Structure formats: C-alpha cells, structure tokens
A = this chain, B = another copy of it.
C-alpha cells in the first residue's frame, strides 16, 4: 500500500467522525474522499465521556457491518479520524477543552474510541478537518498552500500544504480565530486580547449590530427577531441587511474589514494560493466577504494583484467528517512508512 500527499487509489477506507455542537456525524470514507455511508447522532453536549464513546462505537460498528454486508468484507475501514471543536491535541489524541463537550477536560478520546472499535484512532480540530477536506476535494482543490477559515460561533482555521495538514508540534496549529489584531483590544476568553473571533464570531457580530441599532420597530432585524435580542444571530442579521437594515449592513461591513485584516496577516505569513471560507457566518456571503476581500487586497504586502483568491467552501456539511477520515488515512500511512 503506497501513498503520497494526494488522494490516490488505496484498497481501504477510513471512518470519519465530526463531533459538532448540534450533532455527531459519522461516515465511512473511501481513499478518494467518497462518502460510502453516513449516520448522524444527537448532540453530545449532555453526554458523559463513557456514553459518548459508547454511542460513537455503536454507530460506527453499524456502519461497518452494513458496509461489510454490501462488499462482502472488502474495503473495510483501517482507521478512524475524529474532528472536534476546541483545543484538541492531535499529537496526544486528547480533547483538552471543547465548547461542544463542556463536561469534558483532557479526555483521551482517540485512545477510547480506538479501543472500542479496535482501530487506530486519530483526533484533530474540526477546522483542521474542514480545511483538509476542502483543500483536497473542495474549493481548495488544485491549490497550495490553502488556508481555511471557518466562521461560526467561533472562528477557526487551518493551513494545508500540498494536500497535507500543517499540524504543528501538538496539533494546535491553525487557530486563526485567536490571532490578535488589536493588542490592546478587548479580553478574549482564551486569555489573549483583540482576537479575530471577538469581531467576526457570532457573539461579536451581534454585539456590533446592537451597538449600532436603535432596536425598535421599523428596523428589519428587530422585526425579524420579534423584538427578542436572544433571537439575533448572523443568519437573521444577514436577512435584515438584505432588507436594508443599515445597522446590520454596517456590522457585517466592519466585521468583514477586520476579517480582511486577519486574512492579510495570514497571506503575509503563509503566501497561500487560496483561502477557503466556510461555516455558518460565511453564508452572509458578500455582506461579509466583499469588505474582507477589499481589506485583504489593500493591506497585503505582496500587492493586490498577487493577493490570494477567496473561495467559499464547496463540500457542505460533510466536510468535517471527510476531513477527519482523510486525516486518519494520512496518519496511518505515515506510521506504515515509518514503522
């Protein structure tokens, strides 16, 4: 079994698992990135570690058995990859902290799921999984370096070079959202100040809107939210901006410009061929991405004419599980080459 960086033919498959805030998605993914079968479990937020591991193992075993019946045992998964939000150590296979698993601390998830499935198991940050999948098979295909940026409740990211993830020494690389763009800026829960996430993440966007709105009848966001501040989120604000809500438009324009500052920093550091932007907030589209691109082109050292392209993600909701599966295949391949 030989392989290099790309995604050429291999005999086996891997299991990819995306541990999200609202659901756990699982899939068996072929060597070329094709999803052979998929399943979805409820949110893991309320589960203990034992319960979550047991649920994951049960669902993965079902997928594996169904595949074995279909293929008479050919192409069975040789490893499992798991993507999770939060501070995740790929090197140790440990979820240190995660917003999706609030009761968990320093959990050796890779070892536990690996033991339950009797497969080599690998863990990575969910934005790293997203970027790996998009770089190989999605909006980044054919480009290198690819820098992925996920815009959601939090802001994440990753760097992929020639189809391989830049992991870093612990697997913490790619924390784009915690790049400080204002060293004396507001304090971030991560301990830093002026992090990109504070301006571009869900909470920052909503706060920025509320600072600009009068919050009264006649404003589209107020009406769409039925006057309930807690109903505000980027999707609602995008709808309001499209109906002419100036405060909502401005909130996106400001967030987009600061996102562009972050992209310019990334461009100056990595000189990527392409940015791939995904996550719920990116659905605001040009409201956010047009000012981001303007700021990127104005600020980047290499000049506007050489600035990297910005593309929206192409793989949809399966990017996380596909990327986790590809990562597991890469790691198994590395270990075989070394071992």
Interface residues of A (CB under 8 A from B): 87, 143-145, 159, 161, 166-176, 178-184, 190-194, 258, 261, 264-266, 268-273, 298-302, 306, 308
Contact = CB atoms under 8 A, between A and B. Distances in A.
A301 B166 contact: no
A191 B264 CA distance: 11
A272 B168 contact: yes
B301 A269 contact: no
A183 B181 CA distance: 6
A180 B173 CA distance: 19
Count of this chain's copies in the oligomeric assembly: 2
B299 A193 contact: yes
A302 B172 contact: yes
Contact of A173 (B192, B270, B306): B270
Given A181-B183, A182-B184, A183-B261, A170 B301 contact: no
Nearest to A171: B271
B301 A172 contact: yes
A192 B144 contact: no
A97 B175 CA distance: 31
Nearest to A274: B169
Contact of A169 (B144, B266, B298): B144
Nearest to A261: B183
B190 A301 contact: yes
Contacts of A191: 298-301
B180 A269 contact: no
Contact of A258 (B169, B183, B270): B183
A269 B159 contact: yes
Contacts of A180: 181, 261, 264-265, 299
A101 to B, nearest CB: 17
Contacts of A144: 169
A242 B166 CA distance: 41
Nearest to A306: B170
A145 B169 contact: yes
Nearest to A179: B265
A318 to B, nearest CB: 26
Contacts of A264: 180, 192
Given A180-B265, A183-B258, 17 more contacts: A87-B301, A87-B302, A143-B169, A144-B169, A145-B169, A161-B166, A166-B270, A169-B308, A174-B269, A176-B269, A178-B301, A180-B261, A181-B182, A182-B182, A182-B184, A192-B299, A192-B300
A258 to B, nearest CB: 6
Given A87-B302, A182-B183, A271 B192 contact: no
Contact of A301 (B143, B183, B192, B301): B192
State the 4 A-B residue pairs at the shortest beta-carbon distance, nearest first: A168-B271, A175-B268, A173-B271, A172-B271
Contacts of A299: 180, 191-193
